[in-house]
Amino acid sequence: MPLSPAELRGAFAAQSLFEAKTWRLSPDAWPLTGAQVAELEAIGAACLEFHQALETLYLRSAAGRNLLRNRPLIAPWVAEYLDRGKPPELLAHGRHPANRGALPTLLRPDLLLTAEGWALTELDSVPGGVGLTAFLNRLYAGTGDILGAGDTLVTRFHAALAALRPAVRNPVIALVVSAEAATYRPEMEWLAQQLQLQGQRVHCVRPEELFPLGSTLCLAVDGNPERIDIIYRFFELFDLPNIPAHRFILDAWAAGELAVAPPLRAFQEEKLALALFHHPRLRDFWAEALTAGARRTLSALIPPSWIVDPAPLPPGAVLDGPLVGGRPLHDWRELAAASQKERDLILKISGFHESAWGARGVTLGSDVPREVWQAAIEQALAEASHHPRVLQVFRKPRLLEHPIYPADAAGAADARPQPGRLRLCPYYTVEAGTTRLTGALATFCPADKKIIHGMQDAALLPCRRVD
């Protein structure tokens, strides 16, 4: 049965999920066909392969080792791109042999549904919306075959974390939410509460609540110190200096007393990794490192992308990039002269910066005046040595319809189909070297919005399987 406006308002009034955030309401979960669900499962497997291959690429590049099996390909510039702007201590930690094979426990690609199919705009390893999606899965459970029903996302999230310390029975897990990410604290508190009701020792804490005790890291539970076995960090790595206990986190990890998820490996959080997938000099590496199926999936998913690098070129050379006036670029500044159609490009900061999440630090060339576009290009070039940018072809989401309640709706009959565009965020837990699709959050935005994110005039919905 569809949910009424009163049921939805009551549920959200009783449980805060995002700090000071509201969104539009809908009686129905977002429908996904069986074929689309199968596509999402294949996308999850391909994203995990991508992360595994990226680790190999980065570590071999950083060590100056050959990238290919049977012929030479040395590419130190790959690690140089991924390391830009990072402190040496963090880089050394990310390359530490004990971190080999350490991947994010939760993956979330951001997918747009276009006329040509899904387009992947970002692969997030520190994703928000986990608690919200699990809450929505439960709230809409009676409206259809919900993807992730039966608290799948909650239980698999815990199982993926607990697997990091398999020798510890019922480990103490701290969900650490920084001040920078405070918007998401309510959903993480809800997630911890649900796991506590299942008998799990999970706590949502602020960074200042962590303290060392010998070689261990602790938090206070009922006034007593409790040793933490696993930290799930809900903060980006640029925020690490603002975490009072960050030195103790590193020390406890080095002592083997603590597991951290996602791992403190900066190269896993750079958007420019997607541009490396398309780099012509790395084509043979990806062919060797990925299965044929994953390579086909990622090739169809990832829009053409380039790293904006102002390094000078020889007089006869041109950039691997988009065309302007039908001609290749010799200098990125030539993009300023592109027509509005040619400016159907997204320019965004790659990572390790406070503007690199939440749709900040993003410019859509065709949606801004030429002078704003030119200023964004100049900023990208000026900051390339520490905060590199990525240029990506913009694939416009297709126009869809879904029933949405008006603000003053009183009953289920008041819902009317509204036009809009979809961003889908599937959540995959990584367990025993495989991905498990545990739910998906649909963000349905008004049709006039170009960049889709969790704005107040969007609807946030779980997903359901349909025939």
Tens digit of each residue's pLDDT (9 = 90 or more) over 336-348: 999 999 999 999 9
- The confidence band for 355, taking pLDDT boundaries of 50, 70 and 90, is low
The reply to whether 326 falls in a domain is: yes
Dihedral pair phi/psi, residue 53, rounded to 5°: -70, -35
The reply to whether 384 falls in a domain is: yes
- Contact between 400 and 420 under an 8 Å Cβ cutoff? The reply is yes
* C-alpha span between 350 and 362 (Å, rounded): 10
Total residue length of the chain: 467
- Contact between 122 and 111 under an 8 Å Cβ cutoff? The reply is no
The two three-digit tokens of residue 102, written as one number: 């350490």
Residue range 224-231: average pLDDT?
96
Residue range 107-116: average pLDDT?
96
Q: Give the contacts of 372 (CB within 8 A, at least 6 positions apart).
A: 363
Structural domain including 334 reads: 312-390
pLDDT tens readout for residues 401-413: 999 999 888 887 7
The reply to whether 323 falls in a domain is: yes
Residue range 427-432: average pLDDT?
95
- Comparing CA positions, the residue from 227, 230, 235 lying closest to residue 207 is 235
The reply to whether 179 falls in a domain is: no
CA 387, 390, 394: angle at the middle one, nearest 5? 150
- Comparing CA positions, the residue from 232, 245, 29, 238 lying closest to residue 127 is 232
The reply to whether 211 falls in a domain is: no
The two three-digit tokens of residue 262, written as one number: 């996602």
266 burial via Cβ count (<10 Å: 0-12, 13-18, 19+): buried
The reply to whether 369 falls in a domain is: yes
Token pair 């099996």 is found at 69
The predicted model scores a pTM of 0.95
- The confidence band for 7, taking pLDDT boundaries of 50, 70 and 90, is very high
Dihedral angle over CA of 412, 403, 26, 429, nearest 10: 140
Domain count for the chain: 1
The reply to whether 228 falls in a domain is: no
The reply to whether 170 falls in a domain is: no
